Amino acid sequence: MRIPLSAPDITEAEIDAVAAVLRTPQLSLGPKLAKFESVFARFVGVPHAVGVSSGTAGLHLALLALGVGAGDEVIVPSFTFIAAANAIRYVGATPVFVDVDAVTLNMTPEGVERAISTRTRAIMVVHTFGVPADIVELCAIARHHQLLVIEDACEALGAEVHGQRVGSFGDAGVFAFYPNKQITTGEGGVVVAGDAAVMARIRALSNQGRTLSDGWFQHTLLGYNYRLSEIACTLGIGQVARLPEILARREHIARTYTRLLAGRPELTVPPVDLPNKVISWFVYVVRLGAAFRAADRDAIVQRLHDAGIGVGRYFAPIHLQPAYAGFNHTPLPVTEAEAARTIALPFFNRLSKPQMVEVVDTLIAAMEGQMTGR
């Protein structure tokens, strides 16, 4: 693609730092892991952080460490990346899908309240596309029903609610650093929590079940190899140091797109300002108007691809995936309607204004061409 959907932003200084680590004898479980965890915890505003191999691994470990398991239900949106529901199934629990708000595309407190049953053990709150969910209200519901809250903040590093960063509200928060995220470590993730005992269990589980008192060949718990390498941590340290400028740049790009798309009633653009919330821009997703069908959306996406512009369809509802056939769920009309009309536009730190203009012009021409060609 001439204009890709996403692209990592890695500086020469970060490349040099990674190269320096490659010249050392310690490429795993070394000082870079400890430093990365420290700077990350400080940024999010929590006392503890554990680096792991991916956001998916982080969600799995958070559920395990908090004791969610067979027979339990976990409330989760269907409009999200499938890893959220998969992690619930990894521990033997059952995902219970709820619908989302048509503006923020996040689960609503009302929908969660309706989905609570005698088997509900936890709520997995996803901050979709970096837009903060109603986490204060959701935590209040959880406290009232004595439920756990796991924040899937994999798309929302730096987002805030009432001045507090997401990921720090629940019993555990999980972040991810795939190359399309705000910052990247190639692959990787972090779990944060306020409870030291929970974090100690997560650390042990991520390192083959070894507790701090265990020797290398002693394993107190049934664990996993979910470690994050020194190479990844070194890159992460450099990326976290640049986070304020990265987040500001991404917000500028989002607001530029919104200005370029102003006056287009056939398109719904994402909210850029929400009361008492700060959005952390992961992607910029527009939604086609009601006159467009899912087939129209797919044809428009193909036209942009043919023009060398990378766009995506975020998200395919989890409850409609073959891997989730047979799972019961209440009707999810907003999820199904909105998912059929989404188009994620190219969005990355170094995206230029001329590129954004080309994306918007090509998108509008593709939409007009699709309607004319019916």
Phi-psi region of 186 (alpha: psi -120 to 50; beta: other; left: phi over 0): left
Provide the pLDDT for residue 175: 98
Tokens of residue 227, six digits: 């470690």
Query: What b/e sequence results for 59-84 when a residue is b if at least 16 CB atoms lie within 10 Å of its CB, and e otherwise?
Result: bbbbbbbbebeeebbbbbbbbbbbbb
In this structure, how many other beta carbons lie within 10 angstroms of the beta carbon of residue 48?
19
Q: Are 175 and 58 in contact (CB under 8 A)?
A: yes
CB neighbour class for 124 (10 Å; exposed up to 12, middle 13-18, buried from 19): buried
In this structure, how many other beta carbons lie within 10 angstroms of the beta carbon of residue 324?
18
Q: Per-residue confidence of the chain (374 residues) as pLDDT tens digits?
A: 999 999 999 999 999 999 999 999 999 999 999 999 999 999 999 999 999 999 999 999 999 999 999 999 999 999 999 999 999 999 999 999 999 999 999 999 999 999 999 999 999 999 999 999 999 999 999 999 999 999 999 999 999 999 999 999 999 999 999 999 999 999 999 999 999 999 999 999 999 999 999 999 999 999 999 999 999 999 999 999 999 999 999 999 999 999 999 999 999 999 999 999 999 999 999 999 999 999 999 999 999 999 999 999 999 999 999 999 988 889 999 999 999 999 999 999 999 999 999 999 999 999 999 988 76
Provide the pLDDT for residue 329: 82
Separation of alpha carbons 6 and 228, rounded Å? 23
- Catalytic positions are 181
pTM of model > 0.85? yes
Provide the pLDDT for residue 371: 85
For the chain, what's the residue count? 374
Q: Taking CA 131 as the corner, what is the angle to CA 125 and CA 135, rounded to the nearest 5 degrees? A: 40
Provide the pLDDT for residue 149: 98
Q: Tell me, what amino acid is at 17?
A: A
Residue with tokens 């060949």: 217
DSSP conformation letters of 147-179: -EEEEE-TT-TT-EETTEETTSSSSEEEEE--T
Residues 6+ apart with CB under 8 A from 179: 6, 7, 8, 186
Residue with tokens 């004319």: 372
Separation of alpha carbons 279 and 254, rounded Å? 10
Domains of the chain, CATH where assigned: 12-98+106-241 (3.40.640.10), 243-372 (3.90.1150.10)
Separation of alpha carbons 129 and 154, rounded Å? 9
DSSP annotation of 276 reads T
Provide the pLDDT for residue 240: 98
Provide the pLDDT for residue 328: 80
Three state DSSP letters for 308-334 = CECCECCCCCHHHCHHHCCCCCCCCHH
Provide the pLDDT for residue 342: 98
Provide the pLDDT for residue 359: 98
Tokens of residue 351, six digits: 């995206």
